[in-house]
Amino acid sequence: MSGHDAPLLFERSRAGRRAARPPRVDGPPVEELLAGAALREVAPKLPEVSELDLVRHFTQLAHRQFSIDGNVYPLGSCTMKYNPKVHEDAAMLFADLHPYQDPESAQGILSLLGGLQHDLEVLTGMDEVTLQPAAGAHGELAGMLMIRAYHRAAGEDAQRRIVIVPDAAHGTNPATASMVGYDVVEVPTGPNGEMDVAAFEAALSPEVAAVMLTNPSTLGIFESQIRRIADAAHAVGAQLYYDGANLNAIVGKARPGDMGFDVVHLNLHKTFTTPHGGGGPGTGPVGVKEHLAPYLPAPVLTHGDDGWRWDEDRPRSIGRMRSYYGNVGNLVRAYAYIRTLGLDGLRDVAEKAVLNANYLRVRMAEQGYPSAYDRSCMHEFVARPPEGLRTLDVAKALLDEGMHPMTVYFPLVVKEAMMVEPTETESLESLDAYAEALGRIRELAVADPEAFAAAPRTTPVRRLDEVAAARRPVLRWSPETHEAISGREDEAG
Amino acid sequence: MNIPEDRNYAATHEWASEPQDGIVTVGISDFAQDQLGDVVFVELPEVGAAVDAGDAVAVVESVKTASDIYAPLTGTVEEVNDDLEAAPERINEDPYGAGWLFRLRVEGDDGRDELLDADAYRSVCEEEA
């Protein structure tokens, strides 16, 4: 696609055009108010467009959007489930509140947040929960900082330098451990798709600060040895961290706290249906067992005789993780979801998510896309393309079928990995349609390899030059970069 | 599959040249570059760093994955291939030549006995393919 098909606002800009004109304000001129360092010497080059230009720009982009509202979206490990529209009504109920309001005048929202904390404690088997972190990786950081503070308080910070992660882990796990200052040791996956427990036990020592796991794993397989893993980790004084990205498989059925985990982060934008993709924003509550509670990010929301209030007196806290108290609009949506479904409903979510994944796993195998591990899966599974086909080409061809590809090339332990997570919100018909589309793609690859290699043909943007984009990224638009990119496209034909 | 016989290989797909005046050149095999796909970024070790055979010392990133590169031998990093920063595609185009990653100064027991010859490495690749 050339820039002319969907011009940027900068390209639509014409000097003097305005979408809105702010009213004149009485008082001293702005030059006087901002005099000194705060006043720019040159006006910023903002796009100048009419309201209709602006509306058309964003409406055209919105029409090109690929989302769960329009299409099947089984992106593995991302839990791209449908976000019920009634949650928008719930969130709007609190839209007029301000975070600087006196807590006394905001008891309603605080009681809702307190209720959400309680529900998440019950669902994860943890003693206390903070809603502060703004995303999954942010929650991981909060959790690992608490673990480090705990070891420091025990005088063991210098001794404990290592964090163990399985080789199938989400990339954020080793990245977080590294950001908190730990060295990462990787443990391989065994032949049955579970973490190799013997290798894990060999890696344990009093130098280990924590073990980070997700259960079920990114391979969609439940770590059946989890109690043995937890006991072995605790025996050397290590803490067990639960990456909650895959909670959808077990919500209401099993609890990380009962498996022996000490810290849990949750992605409310996955399991609890708050908006995901397109910026969210995310929400990454963290739950801890009692021994880690003193380190929770301050302030802590507590309830006493005077109602809900903020406890700022937390001398051992790791400190604030974020301004205010998390992404409150999305916390409201998550609470609405939990309260609408109840515990029975949430159990049903986990059961249907697992059933849907297993159904699609078998249907895809019938179409020539076998699972990497020949066993039943949890909420997701990892498959491989038919012999001789590349996952990338299959993914591109799916776009022409009007369907979003699965997660590709992850986890790294499976070659040409296709990681599929349909979630509980897809119907039998859409699961069948997905498998059948993959069957057609396989036939296309044989019958017309050229058409297969040229996919996608029906999307607003055709196949991208991902190599050039990674090697020579152009991250900011300007007339000069625009010229350069157009030239590159012409070269490529 | 192109596996030159004039050097040794690690099962993790790095090659190490015969030492010349105590200096060994290290890169990744043709099989490895083919599995990775188009390389887009390389992170090289620091010159002067002491490395043990098996240490993760560099990262090669392609469009689809990022892979640790392990030192095939024990030694000190003498030189790194800075050209790869601007032209990582050399790893794909010429993995045994211009796409080399770094050079190690080795002495004494550098661990070469643990490395594979071309034939043994070929079986490793055939098993993984």
Average pLDDT of chain B to the nearest whole number: 95
Rounded alpha-carbon distances, angstroms, from residue A33 to A26, A28, A37: 12, 7, 11
User: Among B38, B40, B65, whose Cβ lies nearest the Cβ of A412?
Assistant: B65
What's the whole-number mean pLDDT along residues A128-149? Answer: 97
Asked whether residue A363 carries a pLDDT value surpassing 80, the answer given is yes
A71-97 pLDDT, tens digit each: 999 999 999 999 999 999 999 999 999
Q: How far is B64 from chain A (nearest CA, A)?
A: 6
What's the whole-number mean pLDDT along residues B27-51? Answer: 95
Q: How far is B20 from chain A (nearest CA, A)?
A: 33
Rounded alpha-carbon distances, angstroms, from residue A121 to A283, A288, A336: 16, 9, 16
Instruction: Find the chain A residues whose C-beta atoms sit closer than 8 A to any C-beta of B.
Output: 392, 408-409, 412, 415, 466-467, 470-471
What's the whole-number mean pLDDT along residues B5-23? Answer: 96
Q: What is the pLDDT of residue A67?
A: 87
Minimum CA–CA partner of B36 in chain A: A415
- Please answer yes or no on whether A471 and B88 come within 8 Å at the CB atom: yes
What pTM was computed for the model? 0.88
| Cα dihedral A258, A261, A262, A264 in deg (nearest 10) | -100
Q: What is the pLDDT of residue B108?
A: 87
Average pLDDT of chain A to the nearest whole number: 93
Percent helix, strand, coil in chain A, to 5, is 40, 10, 45
Quick check: bond before A405 cis, omega within 30? Answer: no
From chain A, the residues in CB contact with B64 under 8 A are 392, 408-409
A417-452 pLDDT, tens digit each: 999 999 999 999 999 999 999 999 999 999 999 999
Q: What is the pLDDT of residue A485?
A: 67
| Helix/strand/coil for B67 | strand
Q: Are A119 and A332 in contact (CB under 8 A)?
A: no
**A408 pairs with which residues across the strands?**
A418
Minimum CA–CA partner of A411 in chain B: B65
Classify residue A106 by its DSSP letter.
Answer: G
Q: What is the pLDDT of residue A42?
A: 87
What's the whole-number mean pLDDT along residues B14-32? Answer: 96
Q: Does B83 touch chain A (CB under 8 A)?
A: no
What are the structural domain ranges in chain A?
A: 3-64, 86-340, 348-468
Quick check: bond before A23 cis, omega within 30? Answer: no
Calpha distance A138→A62 (Å, rounded): 28
What are the structural domain ranges in chain B?
A: 7-128
A34-44 pLDDT, tens digit each: 878 888 888 88
Structure confidence at residue A1 as a pLDDT band (50, 70, 90): very low
Asked whether residue A276 carries a pLDDT value surpassing 90, the answer given is no
Minimum CA–CA partner of B88 in chain A: A471
**B75 pairs with which residues across the strands?**
B51
Q: Which class is A86-340 in CATH?
A: alpha beta
The listed CATH number (3.40.50.620, 3.40.50.12780, 3.40.640.10, 2.40.50.100) that belongs to domain B7-128 = 2.40.50.100
Classify residue B116 by its DSSP letter.
Answer: B
A45-66 pLDDT, tens digit each: 889 999 999 999 999 988 888 8
β-bridge pairing B23-28 and B102-105: antiparallel
A364-423 pLDDT, tens digit each: 999 999 999 999 999 999 999 999 999 999 999 999 999 999 999 999 889 899 999 999
Q: How far is B21 from chain A (nearest CA, A)?
A: 35
Q: What is the pLDDT of residue A489?
A: 53
Q: How far is B87 from chain A (nearest CA, A)?
A: 8
A348-468, CATH topology level: Aspartate Aminotransferase, domain 1 (3.90.1150)
Asked whether residue A491 carries a pLDDT value surpassing 60, the answer given is no
